[in-house]
Structure 1
Amino acid sequence: MFKTNSFVDVLKHLAVMAAIVVVLVIGFFYVYLPATTNHGESISVPKIEGMQLADAEELLEDQNLRYFINDSTYKPDLKPFQILTQDPSPGAKVKEDRKIYISVNMKNPPMIKMPKLIDGSVKNAELILKSYDLKKGKLTYVPDLQQGAILKQFVNGKEVKPGDMVPKGAVVDLHVGDGLGNSEFEMPSVVGMPVDEASVLLVGQGLQIGNIIYVQGSDEPDGTVVKQRPFAEVGAKIRVGELVDLWVAGREPIEGIE
């Protein structure tokens, strides 16, 4: 217990108490607190984007930092477990034990439903594949009357149907119709037939009428087929969907005039 004999002693005691308070405040805020919270000290965040996760983990641990994976995606052109993004960015100042939020490239691609490409064009298929993060592979043209139409779709050599599950980023090979049928048969002869009857016969056998060329000076009646190409030679074969050109006797009819 302090004893005061005079007003001066009271002032002395108050001064001592004030000094003690000042020392305690200074000691707490400028010695104890900085020592326990590393006040004024910070760590520069290293660049871990592009590193493998295991290497980044070791680097962060050496600098008393932690990481947290908050997102993952699949990029086939990058290595599995490669760090894609980081937050805070490289060079940012943070305290010890701070979490660095990262996104990582997945090891295995996610599975998605195969879109429908069949019956569409190659150009349309390219747009659809891109929207699904799939890649167009090899185009194989096969005999079919649907010229330019996609007939089948394959992944890793196996035919896949619309709705089948395939890996994201997969390469899709396509079979495309070449506009010609697969069936071969003897070339029919239409020479000497009226052009309308010849056309019906050829179309009925799955062939297409190509050019019709009118010639004058023939001994045949007007409108009669005097020549054809391909020729109907012995053993000559033709496939469904092919074109047949016809030469017809007489003048070319004027449209609207019989």
Structure 2
Amino acid sequence: MFKSNSFLGVIGHLLIMGIVVAALILGFFYYYLPSTTNHGESISVPKITGMQLQDAEMLLEEQNLRYFINDSTYKADQKPFQILTQDPAPGSKVKENRKIYVSVNMKNPPMIKMPKLIDGSVKNAELILKSYDLRKGKITYVPDLQQNAVLKQFVDGKEVKPGDMIPKGSLVDLHVGDGLGETEFEMPKVVGMPVDEASVLLVGQGLQIGNVFYVQGSEEPDGTVVRQRPYAEVGAKIRVGEMVDLWVAGPEPVQGIE
């Protein structure tokens, strides 16, 4: 035993205290801390994207991991409660009880305002629908002078106006103009007329000049319309925007030579 009042006794007590402190430090860092923080141990994060939330929860629990839903959205082509994204990524090394942040597909689509597609082209409508997470449905061409222009928009068979509330991801059907229109009138007769006058007359009535065929050997003067299609028969009708083919007497003009 060391005497407390001797020099050796003091040294002995200090030595014993140093050993105790060192043992406590070593025990804390090499035994207690590793046991409470799993120091040196890691878990590989499994891939849970594409899984149902319930199945992913079971898988994470088996590996001593947790999840936290930090976002939700709606995608019509995905199942309800399907995991869309995860963080950390699959294969990442994490500690036990680490939270895996996920985004989940909603069961019911949110309601959004129907965008304005009317008077725009079909191509423009497709771009707008995509930006709103809507889908292009059936396109029906109807008689109208506005060719390829969107005239009406429908969801579930009901016409919807811009600003109406519809479910996100809806199929939007479109009525599109065919460029012809509904108005019918008697087919004008241009046979016997000079081709330039016939063209002015047809275009002035909302018709289009189709194919022009030149016929040699005709008794009519060159440049005269000798035949037309559709024919100008009694009671023959034609719609605005339709084409009329012409047969013209004489040789075909050479381009660039007057």
Q: TM-score, normalised by structure 2?
A: 0.75
* Counterpart-to-counterpart distance in 2, 1:219 and 1:37: 107
- Deviation by residue 1:105-135 (Cα, 9 ceiling, x = unmatched): 2223333333333233323333333333333
Equivalent residue number for residue 67 of structure 2? 67
Displacement after TM superposition at 1:230 (Å): 1.8
Say which is worse superposed, 190-199 or 21-30, in terms of deviation.
Answer: 190-199
After superposition, the CA RMSD in angstroms is 3.7
Equivalent residue number for residue 121 of structure 2? 121
Equivalent residue number for residue 4 of structure 2? 4
Equivalent residue number for residue 181 of structure 2? 181
* Counterpart-to-counterpart distance in 1, 2:26 and 2:218: 123
Structure 2 CA distance for partners of 1:138 and 1:26, relative to 1, 3 Å: same
Structure 2 CA distance for partners of 1:137 and 1:7, relative to 1, 3 Å: same
**Counterpart mapping for 1:118-197 below 5 A:** 118-191=118-191
Equivalent residue number for residue 112 of structure 1? 112
Structure 2 unmatched ranges of 5 or more:
254-258
* Counterpart-to-counterpart distance in 1, 2:105 and 2:156: 23
Question: What count of residue pairs does the alignment treat as equivalent?
Answer: 257
* Counterpart-to-counterpart distance in 2, 1:224 and 1:92: 83
Q: Secondary structure at the match of 1:81?
A: coil
Displacement after TM superposition at 1:4 (Å): 3.1
* Counterpart-to-counterpart distance in 2, 1:27 and 1:72: 46
- Deviation by residue 1:138-192 (Cα, 9 ceiling, x = unmatched): 2222222222222222222222223333333333222222222223344344556
**Counterpart mapping for 1:28-47 below 5 A:** 28-47=28-47
Instruction: State the percentage of identical aligned residues.
Output: 83
Equivalent residue number for residue 243 of structure 2? 243
Displacement after TM superposition at 1:55 (Å): 1.3
* Counterpart-to-counterpart distance in 2, 1:150 and 1:206: 21
Structure 1 unmatched ranges of 5 or more:
254-258
Q: Secondary structure at the match of 1:137?
A: strand
* Counterpart-to-counterpart distance in 2, 1:9 and 1:218: 141
- Deviation by residue 1:28-74 (Cα, 9 ceiling, x = unmatched): 33333444444444433332222111111222233332211122233
- Deviation by residue 1:55-102 (Cα, 9 ceiling, x = unmatched): 112222333322111222333222222112222223333333321111
Instruction: Give the counterpart letter for 1:131 in structure 2.
Output: S
Structure 2 CA distance for partners of 1:39 and 1:151, relative to 1, 3 Å: same
* Counterpart-to-counterpart distance in 1, 2:7 and 2:216: 145
Is 1:83 equivalent to 2:83 in the alignment? Answer: yes
Structure 2 CA distance for partners of 1:13 and 1:117, relative to 1, 3 Å: closer
Instruction: Give the counterpart letter for 1:20 in structure 2.
Output: V
* Counterpart-to-counterpart distance in 1, 2:121 and 2:5: 109
* Counterpart-to-counterpart distance in 1, 2:210 and 2:10: 125
Instruction: Give the counterpart letter for 1:9 in structure 2.
Output: G
Say which is worse superposed, 74-83 or 189-198, in terms of deviation.
Answer: 189-198
Structure 2 CA distance for partners of 1:181 and 1:18, relative to 1, 3 Å: closer
Structure 2 CA distance for partners of 1:3 and 1:108, relative to 1, 3 Å: same
Say which is worse superposed, 72-81 or 2-11, in terms of deviation.
Answer: 2-11
* Counterpart-to-counterpart distance in 2, 1:211 and 1:5: 127
* Counterpart-to-counterpart distance in 2, 1:56 and 1:74: 19
Q: Secondary structure at the match of 1:26?
A: helix
Equivalent residue number for residue 55 of structure 1? 55
Equivalent residue number for residue 13 of structure 1? 13
Q: TM-score, normalised by structure 1?
A: 0.75
Say which is worse superposed, 198-207 or 124-133, in terms of deviation.
Answer: 198-207
